[in-house]
Amino acid sequence: MHKLSMDELGRKTVDEFKEAFKTPVVVVLDNIRSMHNVGSVFRTSDAFLIEAICLCGFTPQPPHRDIHKTALGATETVDWFYFENTKEAVFALKEKGYCLFAVEQTTTSISLEKFNASNYKKLAVVFGNEVEGVDSEVIKLCEGCIEIPQEGMKHSLNISVAAGIVLWKLFESKL
């Protein structure tokens, strides 16, 4: 067994990435504060061929060296759009036929392992602010909420970790 070199990994070029079939998922970032979290979500979205990212409100936008530090070039591969507020993004996505789910803990959340992504042709997932979570008014506009099961004391994950878990699950579902 040997560790694969960069040449052996079969990495796509930017053009190959742009032409590749995408996982029909859009990520919506609802007022994320940390540029490192934004960069991490870009990098994860690149890994799982996510269709696009909507940056909303005060979520930082590329280009910025702190986003680039964690994105490692994924801001060049993953399509992204900016919306002045998250509701605007939700309405635009609904108009294009997306079903939206907030990643949030609510009384009616669907546990991630029970969420059947294949029921939806086009899916968008909203990740919330590091302190406040997904805005309550945005939650009301979504079809429902997805919750990552947790057994510890905190019941809270960093947004970049939560995005990695949820996006892997959606990618694995091969929407």
State residue 23's pLDDT score.
94
Chain Cα centroid distance, residue 89: 14
H/E run at residue 28: strand 23-30
Residue 112 to residue 71: CA distance in whole angstroms: 25
Higher pLDDT: 119 or 175? It is 119
Taking 80 as the threshold, does the pLDDT of residue 174 lie above it?
A: no
Domains and CATH numbers, the chain: 17-148+156-172 (3.40.1280.10)
Taking 70 as the threshold, does the pLDDT of residue 175 lie above it?
A: no
The overall average pLDDT reported for the chain is 96
State pLDDT tens for residues 42-98.
999 999 999 999 999 999 999 999 999 999 999 999 999 999 999 999 999 999 999
- The predicted model scores a pTM of 0.96
